Amino acid sequence: MCGIVGHVGSRPSAPILLEGLKRLEYRGYDSAGLAAVEGGAVRVIRSVGKLSALEEKLRGTELRATLGIGHTRWATHGRPSEENAHPHAVGNVVVVHNGIIENYLALRAELSAAGHAFGSETDTEVVPHLLDRSLREGMDLEEALRETLKRLDGSYALAVISADRPDRMLAARKASPLVVGLGDGETFVASDIPALLSETRRFIFLEDGDVAVCDRSGVRITDLDGRPVDRPVQVVQWTPAMAEKGGYKHFMQKEIFEQPRAIADTLSGRLASVEGAVHLDGGD
Ligand code: GLU
């Protein structure tokens, strides 16, 4: 489990992303990072440990970018380190991911054979490499994302930005949560509603197979083949405190009802992390 957040608009993204990540930190605290498109280039800032370490690193840095994505990591493949922290950038494209790409070793072998050099031990890094390859073949960002998603087995919530398209943020999901938040002249994505409640109350809940293209004016959603998909806009009445309680009356009640999911998440994460370690030690 980890948390992702993204913003495209006309005010600076960094404070919005940091605030969102604070609300998502319960989803992972191995590392945190931000990426923004500024001056025609992608800028990535990452830090091991809690979000406060990233905030410390950002102190004194001027980030005016109005397009950005952020991540707080709960490592499944690759130890908690700065190299393994998200966002992961390749060329002009940068990605944050929640989930597990189960066929990453095969994809990594294929991409390595084609000359791609990997900078992390994560399953996630195959995603920006696949995107980069498709972009170099001449596809546009949206097409490249669809082609990439068709190659992935496993689970993902993804947010993608590129220095070549500073006007948009793409997102997609399969078996990991992802919501789109609709603002006034700006659009957001996040793993969970509380991350965005200080910005908007209007949400679209993405479903498996959805690909969202977000810009300042809103979102366009399609399926993996580019066919338009209609998803209702829902207005959430919760206050941030109510949202954190997930609709339950008390945190204790929430914890009790979340136990089965928490145990399942823990077990799947642990097993995935053991498998990842074995594969990587095995000479990947
Ligand atoms: N599998 C990715 C990683 O280990 C994402 C982690 C997650 O979703 O918790 O970096």
| Bridge pairing between strands 154-162 and 93-101 | antiparallel
Residue 210 has pLDDT above 70, yes or no: yes
The three-state secondary structure class of 68 is strand
pLDDT at 95: 98
Query: Residue 262, Cβ neighbours under 10 Å: how many?
Result: 11
Question: Which comes out higher in pLDDT, residue 100 or 273?
Answer: 100
Q: Whose CA is nearest to atom 9 of ligand 1?
A: 1
- Could you tell me which residues are beta bridge partners of residue 43? 36
- Check if 72 has its Cβ closer than 6 Å to any atom of ligand 1: no
Name the strand (E) or helix (H) holding 145. Answer: helix 141-151
Model confidence over 164-200: pLDDT tens digits? 999 999 999 999 999 999 999 999 999 999 999 999 9
Cα separation, 16 vs 6, in Å, equals: 9
Give the least confident one: 26-30, 132-136, 158-162, 189-193. Answer: 26-30
pLDDT at 15: 96
Report which ligand 1 atom has the smallest distance to the Cα of 76.
4
Model confidence over 110-133: pLDDT tens digits? 999 999 999 999 999 999 999 999
- Check if 97 has its Cβ closer than 6 Å to any atom of ligand 1: yes
Phi first, then psi, for residue 19 (nearest 5°) are: -65, -45
- Check if 122 has its Cβ closer than 6 Å to any atom of ligand 1: yes
Mutate to test the pocket of ligand 1, among 4, 69, 74 (most ligand atoms within 8 A of CB): 74
**Encoded amino acid at 37, one letter:** V
How many angstroms separate the alpha carbon of residue 27 from the centre of ligand 1?
Answer: 11
Nearby residues of 240 by Cβ (< 8 Å), 6 or more positions away: 23, 194, 197, 198
Give the least confident one: 84-88, 161-165, 254-258. Answer: 254-258
Model confidence over 235-270: pLDDT tens digits? 998 776 776 677 777 777 878 888 887 787 677 654
- Could you tell me which residues are beta bridge partners of residue 175? 156
pLDDT at 27: 78
Q: Cis ω on the peptide bond leading into residue 87 (within 30° of 0)?
A: yes
Tokens 């008390």 correspond to 250
- Check if 73 has its Cβ closer than 6 Å to any atom of ligand 1: yes
pLDDT at 276: 37
Confidence band of 282 (pLDDT split at 50, 70, 90): very low
Cα separation, 38 vs 270, in Å, equals: 37
How many angstroms separate the alpha carbon of residue 151 from the centre of ligand 1?
Answer: 18
Tokens 């005010």 correspond to 11
Nearest one of 212, 86, 78, 91 to 149, comparing CA atoms: 212
Mean pLDDT across the stretch 29-45?
94
How many angstroms separate the alpha carbon of residue 191 from the centre of ligand 1?
Answer: 13
- Check if 30 has its Cβ closer than 6 Å to any atom of ligand 1: no
Mutate to test the pocket of ligand 1, among 98, 176, 267, 274 (most ligand atoms within 8 A of CB): 98
pLDDT at 277: 36
Cα separation, 142 vs 160, in Å, equals: 10
Report which ligand 1 atom has the smallest distance to the Cα of 272.
1
Q: What percent of the chain has pLDDT over 90?
A: 78
Give 3-state DSSP helix, strand, coil % of the chain, rounded to 5: 35, 30, 40
Cα separation, 4 vs 190, in Å, equals: 5
Nearby residues of 247 by Cβ (< 8 Å), 6 or more positions away: 238
